[in-house]
Amino acid sequence: MEKMQAQPLEHAIDTIRVRFGSQALTRAAELPPPQPWPSGTALDSLTGIGGLPQGRLSLLTGSGTCGKLTLSLALLAAATHEFAHAVVVDTLGEFDPWTVLPFHPDLSRLTLVRLDPDPAGEAVAALAKAGAGFILLMGEVSEPWLGPIEAGAHRSSAVLIGVVESAGRPFAHASSLSLGFSRLDWVWERGQLIGLRSLVRCLKNRVAPPLGESELEIRYPLGTRVGFDSPITAVASVDEVECTSAVV
């Protein structure tokens, strides 16, 4: 039965390749493994390649205070020191740019984009195509843009991370890696709340065999706020996204 079902699929694949070229369609198993971006966290041990996959969409999911946002801000700050251009795309209108400052980002390399979900897809696709090294998606983008976003990220080898409580079906399907967070306990020191411990499960992995789960201790940044002279900039159109060098 399975063999009979496979024959029409093979014929369709052959037809597409004959009409549009041998590279028009590639099986997932035939794709070369993506290059890893080592995050320096326990997440690297869950991906199977020693880091977050470049050119693929990775999702950090979980409800409530589970550590995914704090960790994503730490990754964003680290990315500003490794890539020429790091971007936050806020489709929810809830991202506070001040929250990233205690993680000591290089603000000259950081851009905040505030757009509704539909226009945000166009912005992310343009940024990925233009070569942004790191893109943090705060919320989902609409289904029609997922293909162009992934294609742009793949061409530029961008690290593409989405942070959502629970991913919708299209967003979840488009991801190559999905990690689920759940809080285990708070971390206290001398009566002060300094972080939390989370259990991180590999829910989906298309880049390597899934590698189970890991406990992760996430520390909140402490100390004085980092001051900065640059203005807070909200990018409102794709044209501005492509040409801006402004920071958060």
Confidence of residue 176 (pLDDT cuts 50, 70, 90): very high
Q: Do residues 187 and 210 share a domain? A: yes
Query: Higher confidence at residue 102 or residue 247?
Result: 102
Give the per-residue pLDDT at 236: 32
- Which range is most confident: 100-104, 179-183, 236-240? 179-183
Confidence of residue 6 (pLDDT cuts 50, 70, 90): low
Distance CA 4, CA 116 (A): 45
Q: Do residues 12 and 91 share a domain? A: no
- 184 is a domain residue: yes
Q: pLDDT tens, 59-111?
A: 999 998 999 999 999 999 999 999 999 999 999 888 888 889 999 999 999 99
Q: Do residues 180 and 206 share a domain? A: yes
Q: Do residues 160 and 179 share a domain? A: yes
- 75, 44 in Cβ contact below 8 A? no
Q: Do residues 76 and 142 share a domain? A: yes
Q: pLDDT tens, 124-134?
A: 999 988 889 99
Q: Do residues 25 and 42 share a domain? A: no
Percent of the chain with pLDDT over 90: 47
Q: Do residues 1 and 98 share a domain? A: no
Confidence of residue 135 (pLDDT cuts 50, 70, 90): very high
- 222 is a domain residue: yes
Q: What total number of domains does the chain contain?
A: 2
Give the per-residue pLDDT at 97: 85
Distance CA 238, CA 210 (A): 36
Distance CA 186, CA 217 (A): 9
- 192 is a domain residue: yes
Q: Do residues 75 and 97 share a domain? A: yes
- 248 is a domain residue: no
Antiparallel, parallel or unpaired: β 86-90 and 177-189: unpaired
- 106 is a domain residue: yes
Q: Do residues 116 and 5 share a domain? A: no
- 51 is a domain residue: yes
Helix (H) or strand (E) holding 164: strand 159-164
Q: Which amino acid is at 196?
A: L
Give the per-residue pLDDT at 234: 33
Q: Do residues 1 and 39 share a domain? A: no
Distance CA 235, CA 114 (A): 6
From first CA to last CA, the distance across the chain in angstroms is: 57
- 163 is a domain residue: yes
Give the per-residue pLDDT at 210: 73
Residue 177, CA distances (Å) to 40, 43, 93, 133, 153 in order: 17, 11, 25, 18, 14
Q: Do residues 113 and 61 share a domain? A: yes
Mean pLDDT computed over 30-50: 85
pTM of the model: 0.78
Q: pLDDT tens, 45-57?
A: 899 999 999 999 9
Instruction: Give 184's DSSP letter.
Output: E
CATH of the domain at 158: 3.40.50.300
What residue numbers bound the domain in which 104 lies? 34-243
Half-sphere exposure at residue 199, Cβ-oriented, CA atoms within 13 angstroms: 7
Q: Do residues 142 and 210 share a domain? A: yes
Q: Which amino acid is at 46?
A: L
